[in-house]
Amino acid sequence: MEAGVEKKTAISPKSKKRPRRKREVPPTEVGDIEDISFSKDEALQIRASLLEWYDKNQRDLPWRTMSGGLDERDKRGYAVWVSEVMLQQTRVSTVIDYFKRWMNKWPTLHHLAQASLEEVNEMWAGLGYYRRVRFLLQGAKEVVEGGGRFPETVSDLRKIKGIGEYTAGAIASIAFRKAVPVVDGNVVRVISRLKTISANPKDAATVKSFWKLAGQLVDPCRPGDFNQALMELGATLCSLSNPGCAACPISAQCHVLSLSGENELVHVTDYPTKVVKAKQRHEFSAVSVVEILNCQETMGPQSSSKYILVKRPNKGLLAGLWEFPSVLLEKEADLTSRRKAVDNYLQSSFNLDLKESTRIVSRENIGECVHVFSHIRLKMYVELLVLHAKGNRSIDYKKQGKESITWKYVDNENLGNMGLTSGVRKVYTMVQKHKQTEQSTIPGRRRKTAVRR
């Protein structure tokens, strides 16, 4: 019996009572994780079987069809870079259309380097994790300013802003055929099952060991294809909760599958070890969709109304992106408290006094919606505040603290076509549905000055 494998007591078929079982992963690792490795024969078998499966079953994805010729090396590296950054924390099915639109607008690194942050943010809207696209733009500018030649090695790629160990390995192996490994969640899942590794997959020492093991497996002749095959296997057959072991090309080398056939306490889905996620922080925000009526108070097709959008600070969550005026609240707040917070914000930010400089046409509580970030659960209280400036007054520019506020007017048509973040899009959709409901209830009605709850 292998070292570290616990002996199981046999139970007579005649026994009426079975011992009470604890639902836990048995200690099935062979020694310390640092001592685990793939033999040369294991690696050869896994490479051959996995590449054969990949050649027959690989998904048809646009970034895999980019030319790999010498004249296209920079374009190939750029395409892999864009796709890998998009694929972080995002489903493949979602990324495909984004990738096509991106490459159509900025087909080369040089095209991207000329873009503005606002342009790339708008193109990225809906993918989330906007820090990724800021680093992608900054990295493109760095490469172009450094001569425009796309780096090929992991060490050189790591010097570019936003390119970490995984992305560097993916670009180097897929675009430039360097025999280097990649490790993402899919690779961790496959290797942990192949070797029954139950150590915490987030632990630094464990992560280092996964990189070592992936490096032993990578095919020296087809490193890019092998790395994609390994990730593809994890994304399809070797899934988190419903693995298709019967169709897996490397099931013969899977230690946990073999153990599960011998011991009913062992399940393939026990690996990798589940890590308790950090508890999300709950935040609350009062969002005021401020609509300014310019010439008339009717809200039909000919309305000349515009909305106020505010640009978020250039650092922090959703940096540099546009949103409706909003105020973070310390806790859940009632309607009166929320409106007071919004009024103070509008006064301090825009010199907008709802009593003196404007007339409130209507103020309606639209409802609540929740938007979830990786570490934050944001509850948004949404209102529609329709204003009409008194006399010839207009909203004034005003500073808030050390940092000035950037804002703009946007009409309904342009707002609908903007690349809004998912959270802002939720709010805008709520407002539009509310308006449609009102218009269908009382066709052709004129807005009346009112404050509704």
Q: Is the dihedral of CA 68, 74, 77, 78 positive or negative?
A: negative
- From CA 127, how far away is CA 422, in angstroms rounded? 8
Q: Is 84 a catalytic residue?
A: yes
Alpha carbons within 13 angstroms on the beta-carbon side of residue 347 total 10
Q: Which of 44, 34, 32, 55 is CA-nearest to residue 217?
A: 44
Amino acid at 404: S
CA dist 282 → 123, 154, 222, 251, 377 (Å): 29, 39, 47, 43, 5
- From CA 280, how far away is CA 254, in angstroms rounded? 35
Instruction: Name the one residue in this structure whose structure tokens are 């917070």.
Output: 341
Q: Which of 29, 34, 42, 84 is catalytic?
A: 84
Query: DSSP assignment of 6-47, as one string?
Result: PP-----TT-S-------S------S-GGG----HHHHHHHH
Angle in degrees, CA 116, 413, 104, rounded to 5: 40
CA dist 149 → 78, 156, 179, 235 (Å): 11, 11, 21, 33
What are the residue numbers of the active site?
84
